Amino acid sequence: MKFKRIVFFTIVFFILVVFFFALKKSNIYNTKNLIGQKIEPFEIISFENNEIVTEKNLQENNFTLINFWASWCSPCRVEHPFLISLSKTKKVKLIGVNFKDKKRNAQNFLNTLGNPYDLIVTDNNGTYSIHFGIYGIPESILIDKELKILAKFIGPIDKDDYKKIFEIIKNDKKYN
């Protein structure tokens, strides 16, 4: 009987202690704290030729903007002109992660609105994007050569975000 009591109370204490620590954790899914951290190593298949793309491909450039998009996402259409002008400046390399999309629809989207990306990878079931801390589409991450996250843009990129990208690049003394 005594043994049973000890087991019972131990389990109850354990559960309640876990609940106590859970209270201290913020439950709001906030990925802002990822800024300043390095992105985790990954292997994703490229959109065009099914080749494997890893984080090493991102180390070739001083700055890379990883943009998560899909043809079914209407705000992606809103941000698209900004991505096009960004690609023309050549200051930042653009990687598009095509999220939970059909290849044909994605291709139509790019044919109609233009292709701003230097490289496109596919994330058919959305799992890779989760590793990048993505919880909505569109979202973009600006990283430097050392794969450090400099900024995150949740939602479509607008005029202010566009300016912010240039400011970050200009102020980053390491690569200027």
Partner 1 sequence: MLSNIGNIFFILNILVTISIIYFCYHSVRDKKYNLAKIVKLSILQSTFAIMTFATLIAAFIISDFSLITVYENSHSAKPLFYKISGAWGNHEGSLLLWISIMSIFSFLYLIINEKSNSNSLLITTVCQNFLILAFLFFSLINSNPFSKILPIPPDGLGLNPILQDPALAIHPPLLYIGFVGSSIYFSAALSSLITGYNNKNFAIQIKPWVKVTWFFQSLGIIVGSIWAYYELGWGGFWFWDPVENASLMPWFAMTALIHSLIILERRESLYSWVIILCLLTFILSVTGTFLVRSGILNSVHTFANDPSRGLYILVLLFLMVVISFAIFFTKTKKETYIFENFSKEVFILSNNWFMAFYLITVFIGTVYPIFTEVLLNNKISVGPPFYNLVIAPIIIPFLFFMALGPNSSWIKFKSFDKKKFVIVLFLSIIVNLAMIKFFGGLSTLSNLIIISSLFLIIYSILDFIFSAKEKKHLNISRAVSHLGFGLLMMFIIINHNFSFEKDANLKVGETEKFESYEITFSKLRLDKRENYNALIGDFIFKDRKSGIVRNLQPEIRIYNDPETLTYEASIRTNIFRDYYLTMSNIDRSDFYNIKFQNKPFMIWIWISAIIISLGGIQRLFIFKK
Residues contributing to the site for partner 1 (CB under 8 A): 1, 5, 8-9, 12, 15-16, 18-25, 27-29, 74-75, 77-78
| Distance of alpha carbon 46 from alpha carbon 23, whole angstroms | 41
CA 65, CA 116: separation in Å to the nearest integer?
A: 11
Query: Which residue's CB is nearer to partner 1, number 22 or number 90?
Result: 22
- Here the tokens at position 99 are 């999220």
Rg, C-alpha atoms of the chain: 21
- By C-beta, is 24 or 56 nearer to partner 1? 24
Tell me whether residue 91 or residue 100 sits nearer to partner 1 (CB atom). 100
Interatomic CA distance for residues 21 and 126, integer angstroms: 30
Least distance to partner 1, CB of residue 121, Å? 24
Q: How far is the CB of 76 from partner 1 (least distance, A)?
A: 10
Minimum distance between the CB of residue 78 and partner 1, rounded to whole angstroms? 7
Token pair for 65? 């903007």
Smallest gap, in angstroms, from Cβ of residue 148 to partner 1? Answer: 21
Q: Which is nearer to partner 1, 24 or 159 (CB)?
A: 24
Q: Are 104 and 112 contacting, i.e. CB atoms less than 8 angstroms apart? A: no
Q: How far is the CB of 153 from partner 1 (least distance, A)?
A: 18
Report d(CA 135, CA 97) in Å as an integer.
13
Q: Say how many CA atoms lie within 13 Å of 74 toward its Cβ.
A: 0
Instruction: Name which of 120, 131, 126 is nearest 65 in CA terms.
Output: 120
Q: Please, which residue, 16 or 176, has the CB nearer to partner 1?
A: 16
